Structure 1
Amino acid sequence: MYPNLYYAFKDLLGLEIPFFKLFQTFGFFVAIAFLAAAYVLTLELKRREKLGWLQGVQEKVLVGQPATNAEIIVNAGIGFLLGFKILGLFFQWDTAMQDLQSYMFSGQGSLAAGIVLAAAFAGYKIYKRQQTLKNNKQKEEIVTVMPHQRVPDFTVMAAIAGLIGAKIFHNLENWNDFVQDPVGALLSFSGLTFYGGLIVAAIVIINYARKKKITIRHLIDSAAPALMLAYGIGRMGCHFSGDGDWGVYNSAYSTDAAGRVVKVAPAQFSAEVERNAQFFLNQYPSLDQIPHIPFEKPASLGFLPDWFFAYGYPHNVIREGVQIAGCEGQYCKVLPIAVYPTPLYEIIACIGLFLVLWAIRKRITTPGVIFGIYLIMNGAERFFIEKIRVNTKYNIFGFHPTQAEIISALMVIGGLVLIWYCRKNKSNTAAAVS
């Protein structure tokens, strides 16, 4: 596993670049997911604009407006942070390099460098404002803004609202942990629920689109392939960093001292559990409550590696497991019993489903249907993957679903209803016209 890009470059290319310790693998893939989704969404919106399904709106734009005091203050703040942390890094190189991540999220830095760079950034903005006022070329223009030009706004709103929603739903799902340390739970970079982010981001973006007079059904249809692709790429971050979002234990496999996956007999599984009892008792009330499903690689799938069915996530970013023999550093843990690598399965499934949505998007012309198909596909994929994932379960009338199972079931039902409604609405409209 690669907790951050430093370990990825070191392992894959043999390059040791300490500065890359700043960039978490999970965060890197999340950023790539947003960029890829924005690109795909832009392409689809442009296609629908050319077909006349989406139109732009006229807006008044003030050209040549000088910088405001708020913009100057923000610029100064950015300059201070860059000076305090980035320039401060060079002044405290030896100390910072011992634990670069801790340094970046601590109060350490260079106050003098921060003040100097803040003054420089603010001074530049003030100089530009004076030049603008001197030229006195302010004017009001009316421009047509097309839906695809709103994609940067959609992306920023999705990032902010998605993070908030993901945090809220995760803490609702893990309420006991939240109550014990609410501040730590809210500020932690781990612990995010995809569906929570999707729901809150969707509410914010749809509200924004209504204000900008963008046809909602064509917008959500355009977003469907992008959302599926973003989910698949985001799961790469989960898998390659080892963020704990994995499946239940596969009791047909264990891990050796070096972190490699090895097959074990049922009796050996019990022995491994007993040998690592302290690790398991920190997570479960008793050793007989450990969630596990034995499944050996079928002979017909012999071409696949064992880690496709069971993986120990060595060097995982959350440092969960037991010590790897001969390993030194922060990330030297591996799970004693291998788990199902569910993020890997979701990567494959969601990239495949993205290709399906991308292939059928031109054939289906009823607005809203593509998004309905997306809801069904994504909901079904997540519902079945939950069967081998570790998650908090609720007790509802004798059933014990997880939060994701409840939401994914609602997504499938919602998708079916949306398709029915859109097709019925189209038929009624056609009948009324004839």
Structure 2
Amino acid sequence: MYPNLYYAFRDLFGLEIPVLKIFQTFGFFVAVAFLAGAYVLTLELKRREKLGWLKPVTEKQRVNGPATNGELISNGIMGFLLGWKGVGLILNWDTASQDFQGFILSGQGNFIAGLLLAALLVYLKYSKSRKNKDAQPVTETVNIWPHQRVPDIIVMAAVAGLLGAKVFHNLENWNDFVQDPIGALLSFSGLTFYGGLIVAATIIIIYARKKQISVKHLIDSAAPALMLAYAIGRMGCQFSGDGDWGIYNSAYITDTTGHMAQVAPAEFNKAVQQNLAYFQQQYPDVAHIPHAPFTKPASLGFLPDWFFAYGYPHNVIREGVTLPGCDGQYCKVLPVGVYPTPLYEIIACLLLTGILWAIRKRITTPGVIFGIYLVFNGVERFFIEKIRVNTKYSIFGFHPTQAEIISALMVIGGLVLIWYCRKNKAVAAS
């Protein structure tokens, strides 16, 4: 596992670059996911614009004139944050680099450097605007195409999505939240994809209506982008070992080197007893640890054992038992292998992305592609939940997880959307 890019470069290329410790692997893949999604969304919006399905909107924009108070204030705030945390990070590198997230969320930093850099950026903005102090602000009328709004859409999706993912995660893990609400809200870990999707979709749909963008064409264009972004985001989960893995595969335990070793069913209970302190932290009743033994079939002998069970050595959340001979803060490995569900979702979602991309030109009824996306995503997540670790609810004798409930609603919603859009097209045609 690679908690941050420092470990990735050290392991893959033999390069030790200390500054890379501030770039978390999970955060890196989240950023790549947004960029990849933005690229695919832009391509599809441009295609629909060429077909005449999406039109530009005429807007007025202000040019020239001196800097506004809002621009000066925003420059000051940005300068202060960069100086406060950036210079503070450099001056306290030895300690801050060991816990970058903790440093960013703490009150530590260099206050004087923040003030100085804030003053500098405000002065530079003001000095530049003085050249236009005698120029009168001019309002120009321009045409704004939907694809030109992708940067705004991505920023809104990032902010609203992360907030929604954090809120839904804490609702799903309420007991942990009430024990440390501040830590749970400020922690960079613990994100629920569906929470982010629901909140971000709501905000973007409101924005699209305000900017007169066809909502159906926008969500159809976003379908392949969303599926691809989800797959890349799961790469962050897999490569960092963020705890978003499956239940234990009791057919495998971790050997002294941190690798998987196939064992008899009785060995699972032995491993539990040998690592009782760890398991008791995870489960109050160790007699009911969720697990399911599955040995690699002979027909799939070409696949490595870690495809079926993985210990996530050096995981970023430091969960498990200590690896022998390991020195550092990321020296934990799971004593029993778990199903690497992020890996399964990466494969499934990349395949589904390819299908959505292949059928997007064949299906011309607006809204249908997004309906198919909802069905695909719901089905994929519903079945992966069967081997994932999640909080279960008790509803009329059933015990679904939050993701199972939402994924079932997504499948139903997707089918209803497909039916509704096709029905409306048929009515319009008649």
TM-score of Structure 1 vs Structure 2, range by shorter chain: over 0.9
Q: Does 1:59 align with 2:59?
A: yes
Match of 1:203 in 2: 202
1:332 aligned partner, one-letter code: C
Q: CA deviation at 1:11?
A: 0.6
**Structure 2 residue aligned with 1:388:** 387
**2:280 alignment counterpart:** 281
SS in structure 1 at match of 2:405: helix
Instruction: Write the mapping of 1:156-167 to structure 2, written as runs, cut at 5 A.
Output: 156-167=155-166
Match status 1:341 vs 2:340? yes
Give the partner amino acid of 2:124.
Y
Task: After TM superposition, give the deviation of residue 427 of structure 1 in Å.
Answer: 0.5
Q: What is the identity, as a one-letter code, of the residue corresponding to 1:15?
A: L
Cα distance in 1 for residues equivalent to 2:338 and 2:263: 13
Correspondence for 1:296: 295
Q: Specify the alignment match of 1:17 in structure 2.
A: 17
Deviations 1:27-49 (A, max 9, x none): 10000000000000000000000
Deviation for aligned residue 1:97: 4.8
Deviations 1:145-169 (A, max 9, x none): 0110110111011011101111111
For residue 251 of structure 1, what is the amino acid of its counterpart? Answer: S
The RMSD of aligned alpha carbons is: 1.3
Aligned amino acid, residue 181 of structure 2: P
- Code of the aligned partner of 2:71: E
**SS state of the match for residue 62, structure 1?**
strand
Superposed displacement of residue 89, structure 1: 3.6
Question: Does structure 1 residue 37 correspond to structure 2 residue 37?
Answer: yes
Assess if the C-alpha contact under 8 Å between 2:30 and 2:232 holds in 1: yes
Shift of 1:422: 0.6
Q: C-alpha offsets along residues 207-261 of structure 1, whole Å, 9 cap, x if unaligned?
A: 0100111111111100000000000000000110000000000000000122111
Stretch deviating more after TM superposition (342-351 or 88-97): 88-97
Letter in 1 for 2:40: V
1:212 aligns with 2:206: no
- Partners of 2:205 and 2:379 in 1: how far apart? 24
Amino acid of the residue matched to residue 29 of structure 1? F
Please identify, of 8-17 and 105-114, the stretch whose mean Cα deviation from structure 2 is larger.
105-114
The answer as to whether partners of 2:235 and 2:346 remain within 8 angstroms in 1 is: yes
Contact 2:60 2:142 in 1 (8 A): yes
What secondary structure, in the 3-state scheme, does the structure 2 residue paired with 1:132 have?
A: coil
The CA distance in 1 between the partners of 2:227 and 2:57, in whole Å, is 28
1:77 counterpart letter in structure 2: I
- Flag the 1:95–1:278 CA change in 2: closer, same or farther, 3 A: closer
Q: Tell me what 2:355 maps to.
A: 356
- Equivalent residue number for residue 2 of structure 2: 2
- Residue by residue over 1:68-112, the C-alpha shift from the partner in whole angstroms, topping out at 9 and shown as x without a partner, is 222212212222222233233443444545555544443333333
Pairs aligned (count)? 430
> What residue is the counterpart of 1:194 in the other structure?
193
Matching residue's letter, 2:407: S
Q: CA contact under 8 A between 1:63 and 1:138: conserved in structure 2? A: yes
Q: CA deviation at 1:288?
A: 1.2
Matched, 1:129 2:129: yes
1:280-337 CA distance string (max 9 Å, x none): 1111121111000000000000000000000000000000000000001110000000
Contact 1:380 1:412 in 2 (8 A): yes
Report how far residue 404 of structure 1 moved: 0.3
Match of 1:249 in 2: 248
TM-aligned CA distance change 1:407 to 1:118, over 3 Å: same
What is the Cα deviation at residue 368 of structure 1?
0.6
Distance 2:104 2:199 in 1: 29
Q: State the match for 1:221 in structure 2.
A: 220
Q: What displacement does 1:138 show?
A: 2.2
Structure 1 residues 409 and 187: alpha-carbon distance in aligned structure 2, compared to 1, 3 A threshold: same
What secondary structure, in the 3-state scheme, does the structure 2 residue paired with 1:108 have? coil
Q: Secondary structure at the match of 2:337?
A: strand
Check conservation: 2:22, 2:97, Cα contact below 8 A: no
Cα distance, 1:148–1:98 mapped onto 2, change above 3 Å: closer
Separation (CA, whole Å) in 1 of partners of 2:269 and 2:326: 26
| AA of the residue aligned to 2:217 | H
Cα distance in 2 for residues equivalent to 1:207 and 1:97 = 40
2:113 and 2:284 mapped to 1: Cα distance? 52
Question: 1:246·1:343 contact (CA, 8 Å) conserved in 2?
Answer: yes
Q: CA, structure 1 residues 95+27, in 2 after alignment: closer, same or farther (shift >3 Å)? A: closer
1:118 partner letter = A
Q: What is the distance in 2 between the residues matched to 1:24 and 1:231?
A: 18
Instruction: Give the partner amino acid of 2:239.
Output: F
Q: 1:93 to 1:37 in 2, by over 3 A?
A: closer
Decide whether aligned partners of structure 1 residues 95 and 250 sit closer, same or farther in structure 2, where only a CA change above 3 A counts: closer
CA distance in structure 2 between the aligned counterparts of 1:353 and 1:339, rounded to whole angstroms:
24
Check whether the contact 1:171–1:178 (CA below 8 A) recurs between aligned residues.
Answer: yes
Going from structure 1 to structure 2, the CA distance change for 1:327 and 1:414 (only over 3 Å counts) comes to: same
Supply the AA of the counterpart residue of 2:213. Answer: I
- The alignment partner of 1:365 has SS state of coil
Structure 1: how far apart are the matches of 2:93 and 2:36? Answer: 35
Gaps of 5+ in 1: none
Q: Give the stretch that moved more between structures: 43-52 or 62-71.
A: 62-71
* Change over 3 Å in CA distance of 1:95–1:29 after alignment to 2: closer
Which amino acid counterpart does residue 389 of structure 2 have in structure 1?
V
Which amino acid is the alignment partner of residue 237 of structure 1? G
Q: TM-score, normalised to structure 2's length? A: 0.97
1:54-75 deviation per Cα after TM superposition (whole angstroms, max 9, x unaligned): 0011011111143222221221
CA contact (8 A) 1:21 1:101 kept: no
Matches of 1:186 and 1:102, distance apart in 2? 13
User: Hey, what does 1:79 align to over in structure 2?
Assistant: 79
- Matched with 1:402 is 401
Is the contact between residue 247 and residue 389 of structure 1 (CA under 8 Å) also seen in structure 2? yes
